[in-house]
Chains A and B, each alone.
Chain A
Amino acid sequence: MKSRSKVVLTAVGVLTAGLVASAPIASSAANTKSFAYGFSANGQGQQPYVESTDGQTHETGGAVPPNPLLSGQLVHLSAGDDAAAVNIANIEIGGALAQLPPEAAEGIAQLQQACTGLDQLPPEAELPPIFENIPGGVLETPTADDLAAFCNQLLDSDILNAAELRALNVACDGDTGTVEVAGASVLGAEAPALNGQVGPNTKLLPDESPLQITLNRQTPHDDGSFTVDGLVLTAGPGGEAEVILASTTCGEPIAVRDTDTDTDDPAPAPAPQPVQGDIPVTG
């Protein structure tokens, strides 16, 4: 388990050094600034990036910077008055397996072979070691049907990547946020369970796992701003190695100060303008 953690920590460190750290850093945001970016590693190299400090909506496009972990076509970023959004298409996680060194291809082949052997296992038999090596004892809980269905798809598919997402849409609006996944597949097999709206702070692995994948990580900040990260990969005991894909941060509304003080005196409310409507009341 420790060796896996070290491998990813190393990879993230190399990645961080390789990225250009010219983009603004999230922690320095003023509370009225809203911004969005596509990708960062350990808080560095937030690229592509867009922000709004004047309440106007600013937009840009671009691509996820080259890195060994994942690729994606960034189709849209926007930031405005207390709102921001990122849409990324065709995300490929884990690189092209077809171009991997023999060791990686062999690992996948072992998974396929293990899947092939599942049908021949008696119900009470132990799972092959390759499944038991999955962190956190995840395979202690899935049903046999879950595993069989996944393996069937795995064996019938042409494997190109560890995982693919056709679209990842992330948005914040004030102190709320949404993350939507479409077209998810894992090892070439469709993974419909991952599609659709994802709940806040959805952790995909048990807490004791040395690595974590979190979807829709939501973080309120002391300055009133609010961050929604689409996909977060963290490693290390304190989560010190971190890769973020698709992040949005909403500051406070530009046009309105937080004027909640006893000395403040709001302006008089106007007389209402009647509206046409149909409201059955109790007469």
Chain B
Amino acid sequence: MPASTLESRARRVASLLATLTVLVLGAALALSVVKGMGGEASADTGAAPNLAKLTSATTHTTLRHPPLDRGTGATDGEVVHPRRVVAVYATPGRDAFAKVGPRQFGPTWLPVVDRRGGWSRVLLPSRPNGSAGWVRTALVERRTTPYLIKVHRASRTLELVKDGATAGTWQVAVGAPSTPTPLGRTFLLGSVVDDRQSFSPVILPLGTHSDTLDSYGGGPGTVALHGWPDAAVFGQAVSHGCVRVPTDALTQLTQVPLGTLVIVDEQ
């Protein structure tokens, strides 16, 4: 190989390495400045979110400015279970604002309130009440529930609907005027046996919270369906937000799949 060619190749390699050196030096300085200013490096808006930075949607958390569910009616009964921690978006694929994992108390099941090409809109268990967002349908397990639970505040009754027909109606205790059971659509979040209380053999927490109590008993003010030992409360507005139900109602409610829609109205 001619000496001039060798020299040319050496110069090319040297030039390349010098270029890389300068580039990497510039890169390190640029990133230092970006971090020093407290700014964010550039990011495409269409990129997948960094899950580590998203708030987990649980009964214990409050989401910042989430989209809210405005619906009042029944759904087709679809419920979904995240197979892993998944991002929750304000619109399909855009503006991730939360994440939701496969387990809360037990497995996480969320009601589907809308669908759009590969995406499902689900209700979330966090504050504020009515929080809702979109998840990728491919990342969740899908099931259907034949049930719908209606709580009527004025008549202080709970109606269990199965396959579109009333399966049972009971007088129940709802929230007192100062601590009302919150209105709107929510869902059956869990089925919990808590040995540290004696008022109910099983507690069915919902995905909603007291509007008037920021916390209660060391918890986040989660509203639940549960039994009550004193039958005199049924038909009264006396609770701190929970719905106290008779034993027969509780027995049937424990058979209702998680994620089942619960509608609290003013009737």
A241 CB to closest chain B CB (Å) equals 12
Q: Quick one: which of A143, A267, A281 contacts B222, CB cutoff 8 A?
A: A281
Do B23 and A108 have beta carbons less than 8 Å apart?
no
Nearest chain B residue, comparing its CB with the CB of A4 = B19
Cα distance A173–B223 when bound, in Å?
34
Q: Quick one: which of A95, A139, A207, A269 contacts B143, CB cutoff 8 A?
A: A269
Do B105 and A277 have beta carbons less than 8 Å apart?
yes
A163 in contact (CB, < 8 A): yes
Q: A7-B19, A8-B19, A94-B20 are in contact. Are A266 and B12 (CB under 8 A)?
A: no
Do B23 and A68 have beta carbons less than 8 Å apart?
no
Residues from chain B with a CB closer than 8 A to the CB of A256 are 83, 138, 141
Residues from chain B with a CB closer than 8 A to the CB of A273 are 106, 191
Other than the known A68-B16, A200-B44, what 14 A-B pairs have Cβ atoms closer than 8 Å?
A94-B24, A107-B17, A138-B26, A142-B32, A193-B32, A199-B43, A200-B47, A200-B49, A256-B83, A260-B115, A269-B257, A279-B105, A282-B217, A283-B239
Residues from chain A with a CB closer than 8 A to the CB of B17 are 94-95, 97, 100, 104, 107, 162
A265 in contact (CB, < 8 A): yes
Do B14 and A107 have beta carbons less than 8 Å apart?
yes
Nearest chain A residue, comparing its CB with the CB of B9 = A101
A175 in contact (CB, < 8 A): yes
Do A281 and B223 have beta carbons less than 8 Å apart?
yes
B190 CB to closest chain A CB (Å) equals 7
Do B52 and A267 have beta carbons less than 8 Å apart?
no
Residues from chain B with a CB closer than 8 A to the CB of A69 are 20
Do B254 and A271 have beta carbons less than 8 Å apart?
yes
B231 in contact (CB, < 8 A): no
Mask: chain B, 187-200; 1 = CB below 8 Å from A; 0 = not? 01011111110010
**Interface positions of A from 222 to 277, Cβ below 8 Å from B:** 224, 226, 252-253, 256-260, 264-277
Most buried by A among B20, B83, B109, B224: B20
Number of A-B residue pairs, CB cutoff 8 Å, is 295
**Interface positions of A from 174 to 204, Cβ below 8 Å from B:** 174-178, 184, 186-187, 191, 193-194, 197, 199-204
Q: Quick one: which of A219, A264, A274 contacts B254, CB cutoff 8 A?
A: A274
Stretch at the interface among A44-52, A116-124, A128-136: A128-136
Residues from chain B with a CB closer than 8 A to the CB of A176 are 48-51, 87
Mask: chain A, 82-118; 1 = CB below 8 Å from B; 0 = not? 0000000000011101001111100110010000000
Stretch at the interface among B34-42, B64-72, B153-161: B34-42
Do B20 and A93 have beta carbons less than 8 Å apart?
yes
Q: A100-B17, A202-B41, A259-B142 are in contact. Are A276 and B26 (CB under 8 A)?
A: no
Residues from chain A with a CB closer than 8 A to the CB of B167 are none
